[in-house]
Structure 1
């Protein structure tokens, strides 16, 4: 029995080259984050990571995947060490690097097996590249669910938020955009290894003239792939350039909203030296200043947005705070959408958003749907307490997961006309299901309330704003990203800044924000697009593994 076994299947990087290349690729990928914003390094980094595991032995692929994950995640997540030290940073970094390890194993298995595919080189290249892009997408999806609800941070799409490619997210969604980027990196790598494999096969065929007949696969590979790797790189770059001119998907504009978003520059971090009421007072004072200025200029206000935790603990049971906020809302004639930690009658706690008018509580509430494990609740508390009791005891309250709709009704302006605002509290903004639910429930604008005080002047808040910017483009909704300390910005549905504040200043943004209606293709079909890419990755892994098993069986029979 004969199958197409090309000698090129053995072409792979040596161990001593693969591991450093993988680590370098992960580090270069991290250079695309906002700290340096060298976004072209994204493509170089991904290509290096892919090359390091391409057709690798599984042991080397696992080490290379782990090296790539460590090279990327540990620098990117360095903001975790600011107040909490190295333990949470190491823990999360190891978990995220483990996903890269698994991805490395999957890509190695798929590319080794698919190298045996009985097809023309161009078709084999296409199949392998699509499978690899699908496996990268699969890894991103899995890390967004496991463990403890996942951490969908550091996806490839995030790094192009401020580039011409960002408009694609309105058509493809986050996963679709990540897959396109991964595909653009996989094609040149696939061409390179196909050429190397073909050259080796040709050399082996010429060195064995005495053989009665060469194996079919060997003969098929004797013809070196005609596409130079440089041409593949240029072709991919041209394709990306053409994609970069694709406009943002249109949705219908129904009106506008005069928004004031207040950054109180409050001492809102875990270890900040403050007294009860300081955070609230900072936002009351900053709001009063901007309101006085707008009144002097004859400007109107439709709605005021405060950050996460801006009204501190249990606002409905704090009579003084209730009176102060209601008086301010009454003075402006505009409701205040604010954040407060609430305790329900059953004793459970939620990280919530409320709407306060001149009459007090408007009876509108949203509870955070994605509380952060190890920060807003402690999973497996006894187990982790035995490992790090001091850190675990910092998490005193266990916030429950919200079940209310993330799109709330807000009475705006003096007419009390009601608009629907999508609410995303802090890390809510990074989850795709949150975006889909907000739009499905009728959100016309998104208020992304966050508290970044625990991360100081690190790159965390800028990384989060990248995601919020893409979320605006994906949903076709303006996003009011307001933080206690920054980075705060109001982002238009096409990704432009309508207003922005300097971090660590007490100030307010004022902008006319468009109200939108309808679904972008990303919201309507994004889950299906993601599913197709995952299916391609899974099919490539299964098919490649089957071809490898078949090749080994035939080799044993031939022996």
Structure 2
């Protein structure tokens, strides 16, 4: 006689879940949110670039071995944890609606990355494929919709970081890949250490993958150090950046446009007096910020006279940021080269105008959710020509404000001969938020990426002058009238990043595609051979 004893299933339907089991359900979602928040904390104004490494390590722990649907959901949570605090400035003057809508859309790209990372996480050498997937998602986010929104690329949080020299090797994609790879590699190393403690052995392949995931980016950054060079190849230029400030914060600063123009003209005349008295060196050229004259000097003689008088006082070519208002057609966000003898001699129209800021896509639909769209009563149009001005013999490349976030917009100026880059900006709309520091970090990364001095004249702060090695040599305070005057090195050689253009990003995208294809093929084989 025998008896079969059936053990009690503690997890059966009649067993109430314990508090501990309930809590465990929230561990991975909480870890996903935390990984995104750590990534946010790695961005300026905090000098905590290294937090990106534990952020990716935690993301790797959260996503490894998960099903695709779970990977998508956890990735979305990570995206919210990252982008909600990073982009809070977008609602500074228009309310929470646009900020939440933008974050909800942009987090979808992080969700897609989470799905892809989950898919490749069971592959050998998975940290390399996972880092490639992250860069693939960043590349997509930088291009769609409405021309893309690359704000928050991992590379832009690394202006103070160890890996920054890699920007000169392959631009923001290679820099971001190195950071993600090292973070995923740290998690894989942790996994292998735990496995060794449990079993006493570690297979050579996984051990090599963990080690190389850390050693490759670290060694690459060290090898790239010679590319970070701030020596003067073509002599130097003394440049002045004018920050005139605005009378009042908020969207209505444009209603004070004459006061803004007068502020910048007054600071320039003050600089001229300081030069005459020997308190400041004579600049070779002067840079005003974007929107320093929202009164069209071509249509308004009074505005033209104010600008002309200021430029004549300083006696050197000056770049004016103006809103040009043709009788018909779209507005132009224009930079004007103003010569002290000949007046306006050259123009550059911003090529990548900002959706929902400078023009309103789907205006009637968006109006349902936020009436602030009608503050932009007339859309801006995009220019088509690369902006490089010859200012007293110096070739100066121009990337207006939002354009600094786009790889192509800055690189084009260098391939067209720029020896120095200017990023004139207007941050008055965003108050005292972190936005201006995030944008300044982009310019520091661009300086190293292309080995060029970068000058950032801003209406209200923070204006800065940056050397080719990414070091800030002078900067203003926020919402404080000021003028920066510095001698900077001029360079004409091109870094590998400049010469290669989009090729490194394409290769990393191919790596991601190969990993996703391999993972898909393995999944198909597993379905066809159950139990294998």
Q: Which TM-score applies when normalising by structure 2?
A: 0.89
Structure 1 residue runs of 5 or longer lacking an equivalent are 1-13, 115-123, 203-221, 413-417
Q: Does 1:248 align with 2:227?
A: yes
* Farther-moved stretch of structure 1 (165-174 vs 81-90): 165-174
Equivalent positions of 1:491-510 (< 5 A) are 491-510=466-485
The aligned counterpart of 1:60 is 70
1:549 aligns with 2:528: no
User: 1:290 corresponds to which residue?
Assistant: 271
> What are the within-5 Å matches in structure 2 for residues 303-322 of structure 1?
303-322=285-304
Cα distance in 2 for partners of 1:58, 1:227 equals 25
Shift in CA distance, 444/35, structure 1 to aligned 2, threshold 3 Å: closer
1:281 to 262, 266, 269: 262
Q: Does the 8 Å contact 2:50/2:161 carry over to 1?
A: no
User: Within 1, Cα distance between the matches of 2:60 and 2:100?
Assistant: 24
Question: C-alpha offsets along residues 97-146 of structure 1, whole Å, 9 cap, x if unaligned?
Answer: 1111111111111224x2xxxxxxxxx2x3x1211111011011110001
Would you say the 8 A contact 1:335–1:358 is kept in 2?
yes
Q: 1:468 aligns with which of 443, 446, 449?
A: 443
The reply to whether residue 347 of structure 1 matches residue 322 of structure 2 is no
Structure 1 pair 499/195, CA: closer, same or farther in 2 (3 Å)?
closer
Counterpart check, 1:332 vs 2:307: no
Provide the rounded CA distance (Å) in 2 between the counterparts of 1:450 and 1:375: 14
Q: CA deviation at 1:275?
A: 3.6
User: Which deviations, in whole Å up to 9, do the C-alpha atoms of 1:163-192 show, x marking residues without a partner?
Assistant: 332222112211011111111112233345
Q: What residue number does 2:242 align with?
A: 262
For 1:495 and 1:446, the matched residues in 2 are separated by: 12
> Could you tell me how far 1:532 is from its partner in structure 2?
1.1
Report what 2:26 is aligned to: 16
Q: Deviations over 1:448-492 (max 9, x none)?
A: 100011111111000000000110111111111110011111001
Deviation at 1:440, TM superposition (A): 1.3
Aligned partners of 1:350 and 1:367 also within 8 Å: yes
**Secondary structure in structure 2 of the residue aligned to 1:513:** strand
Task: Give the gaps of 5 or more residues in structure 2.
Answer: 1-23
Matches for 1:397-436 after TM superposition, within 5 Å: 397-410=378-391, 412=392, 418-436=393-411
Displacement, 1:237?
7.2
CA contact (8 A) 2:195 2:201 kept: no
CA contact (8 A) 2:246 2:253 kept: no
Match of 2:85 among 46, 59, 75: 75
Structure 1 partner of 2:375:
394
Does the 8 Å CA contact 2:192/2:207 hold for their aligned counterparts? no
1:451 and 2:422 correspond: no
Task: Tell me the equivalent position of 1:4.
Answer: none
Q: Which residue of 2 aligns with 1:49?
A: 59
On the 8 A contact 2:181/2:214 being kept in 1, the answer is: no
Secondary structure of 1:356's counterpart equals strand
Alignment partner, residue 217 of structure 1: none
Q: Distance in 2 between matches of 1:242 and 1:386?
A: 50
| Matched positions, count | 505
Partner of 2:167: 169
TM-superposed deviation, 1:359:
3.2
Counterparts of 1:403 and 1:15, CA distance in 2: 52
Distance 1:532 1:166 in 2: 20
C-alpha contact (below 8 Å) 1:15/1:60 kept by paired residues: no
What CA distance in whole angstroms lies between the structure 1 residues aligned with 2:101 and 2:79? 13
- 2: distance between equivalents of 1:404 and 1:441? 11
Deviation for aligned residue 1:503: 1.7
Taking the aligned partners of 2:412 and 2:232, their CA distance within structure 1 comes to: 18
